[in-house]
Amino acid sequence: MAQFAVIGLGSFGVTASLELANQGHHVCAADISESTINTFANQLNYTVILDASDETQLARLDLTSCQAVLVAIGENIEASILCVLRLKNLGVKQIWVKACSKSHHQILSKLGVSRIIHPEEEMGIRVAHALNYPMVNQYFALTQSTFIVELAIDLHLSGRNIGWLLKERNSDIKPLTLRRDDNFNTDLTLDTELRHGDSLVLLGSKHYLTKLTKRFKAL
């Protein structure tokens, strides 16, 4: 079980906090609003009312012991930036920040935070991908050009093997694991047979994975 802190309990911060808690992690959730804190106090491990721009208040939370701190402050860009500066001063290493605008993003990039998040933009991209490639259950970007994708194996692919699915792209796309019911198989070869209901996780470049999913749609 890891420890995380979420500062700012708007819809994005609350969703992240509750999901981390559901995954079994210890979550410290902070917000300047007493009513917001009272609303979620019974659903999270630890909640606290604080002014995130006040370094003294932040220091009381021992945030350096967290695996990561998520700054999810809403439209108050000044408060978000001040919070990041205070966290940096306290020695917090992993700082993820929700950006509200391009200018906010530019400032955060200069501060050297671990990750800048655009929730609405990222969700829009995910929805578009889901609509365009319904066979892709999940995807995760390792870099701008390298992705991990989870493909849902449909009925028309049942009985085929991985080598047939990848065809000439065997060296460009690496199969990582195959989930069948509640079992995971990581000892995959090109001869591994696929069945309806399987989930196949692949690693590869965005270019070749996009080609594969387009071919997948055409089958």
pTM of the predicted protein model: 0.64
Residue 80: CATH number of its domain = 3.40.50.720
The predicted structure's pLDDT at residue 11 = 87
Give the torsion sign (CA, 84, 86, 89, 90): negative
- Report how many domains make up the chain: 2
The predicted structure's pLDDT at residue 155 = 85
The predicted structure's pLDDT at residue 35 = 93
Quote the domain boundaries for residue 201: 133-218
Residues 25, 22: Cα–Cα separation, whole Å: 7
The predicted structure's pLDDT at residue 19 = 85
Q: Are residues 86 and 157 in the same domain?
A: no
Q: Are residues 104 and 48 in the same domain?
A: yes
Give burial (CB, 10 Å; 0-12/13-18/19+) of 151.
Answer: buried
* Position 128 in a domain: no
* Position 68 in a domain: yes
Question: pLDDT tens across 166-182, in order?
Answer: 876 667 888 999 999 88
The last residue of a domain, from among 93, 117, 141 = 117
The predicted structure's pLDDT at residue 2 = 84
Instruction: Find the farthest-apart pair of alpha carbons in the chain and give their distance in angstroms, rounded.
Output: 62
The predicted structure's pLDDT at residue 131 = 53
**Positions of the chain with pLDDT lower than 70, given as ranges:** 121-135, 168-170, 215-219
The predicted structure's pLDDT at residue 145 = 78
